[in-house]
Amino acid sequence: MRRRHFIAILAGATARPLSAFGQSGAVPVVGFINGASPGPFAHLAASFRKGLDEEGFVEGRNVAIDTRWAEGRYERLPAFLQEFVDRKVAVVALTGGAMPRLTDNPATTRVPIIFVMGGDPVRAGLVASLNQPGGNVSGITQLTNELAAKRLGLLHELLPRMKKVGVLINPDFPDSGPQLRELENASARAGLAAVVVRAQGEGDFDPAFSRFEQERPDALLIGADPFFNSRRSQLVALVMRLRIPTIYEFREFAEAGGLISYGTDLGDAYRLTGRYVGRVLKGTRPGDLPVIQAAKFELIINLKTARMLGLEIPPTLLARADEVIE
């Protein structure tokens, strides 16, 4: 989505003042936008509702939540946002890769927005600073892009003789570019050859893994992408068919049979997003809510999968694991 288009969407609409809800007795509506799919992300939507509940807002009692799921089709996001702006919802929660990257001046907007995103919101121009966002935008950053090099390092620790790594990236995901740059720089520093394969939808999965089968990398890294997360069972099955050691972003992959995952606690990020939305509903300006940086990182190792692959997990790596799946 183009920068000016995003600004026009927000600047051209006025959300109903929150005090008006109390005067009219109407229940405030929260617009919840997610770039992935409702089934695989149901537990995260529940975490969002839990955060709202912690601030005293219960769906169906004193707040309504209207959800929109992009199913990995990120081009649908502007229309979802436009719909909620036109309806003058109380606040919009942008989750699961739904955060548009392009806005210069959130202070020009009139719609409160709370996000959970993987990149740096200051560098993206979404907020003035982490401690004092200003304007109508704030939320949670998971440092997804910054962790890409860390995941590659964990793979190298597992396979010290690794020479070639395969990387699966979704070019439609807004944060795929920064991730890829981090990975390519980290690969060059480690003296690794990187085989980058792109997949934009389920129809690309089989050709992508056929490419990996031809290239035979020593290990795979599945790029951070909500759509990939929503198709985690399918991706793990394809990986296991090739029997290549693979690292993923979130614990959901390891729970689905993936070898290793390293990332933030996604459920907690959604809970905190819900809490921030609740605080906005109480009257706090998003610009007065500091952007929360993820502080809890999880290393999950699936020993059952390691045994299936005939891998010996180094004791030093096991000792650092937050959870070992037997």
> What per-residue confidence (pLDDT) applies to 100?
56
- The rounded distance, in Å, linking the Cα atoms of 33 and 35 is 7
Residue located via tokens 């009692």: 61
Are the CB atoms for 81 and 306 separated by under 8 Å? no
Please compute the mean of the pLDDT values over residues 188-203 and round it to a whole number: 94
> What per-residue confidence (pLDDT) applies to 25?
55
Whether residue 267 has pLDDT greater than 80: yes
In order of 13, 31, 38, 261, the CA distances from 274 in angstroms are 23, 12, 17, 25
- Considering only 23-27, 57-61, 275-279, which range has the smallest mean pLDDT? 23-27
Average pLDDT, the chain: 87
- The rounded distance, in Å, linking the Cα atoms of 26 and 17 is 12
> What per-residue confidence (pLDDT) applies to 97?
85
> What per-residue confidence (pLDDT) applies to 79?
86
Whether residue 152 has pLDDT greater than 60: yes
Please compute the mean of the pLDDT values over residues 106-112 and round it to a whole number: 61
> What per-residue confidence (pLDDT) applies to 26?
85
Q: What is the CA radius of gyration of the chain?
A: 20
How is residue 295 annotated by DSSP?
A: -
Q: What is the pTM of this model?
A: 0.85
- Rounded to the nearest 5 degrees, what angle is found at the Cα of 144, between the Cα atoms of 142 and 149? 140
Strand partners of residue 222: 168
Whether residue 22 has pLDDT greater than 70: no
Q: Which of 89, 85, 82, 80 is nearest to 28 (CA)?
A: 89
> What per-residue confidence (pLDDT) applies to 284?
96
Q: Residue type for 273, please?
A: T
Whether residue 8 has pLDDT greater than 80: no
> What per-residue confidence (pLDDT) applies to 14?
34
Please compute the mean of the pLDDT values over residues 76-81 and round it to a whole number: 87
> What per-residue confidence (pLDDT) applies to 110?
67
pLDDT band at 171 (very low <50, low <70, confident <90, very high): very high
How is residue 59 annotated by DSSP?
A: B
> What per-residue confidence (pLDDT) applies to 313?
95
> What per-residue confidence (pLDDT) applies to 2?
37
Q: Dihedral (C-alpha) 133, 292, 101, 51: value to the nearest 10 degrees?
A: -110
Whether residue 20 has pLDDT greater than 70: no
> What per-residue confidence (pLDDT) applies to 15?
36
Q: Residue type for 162, please?
A: M
Three-state DSSP class for residue 298: strand
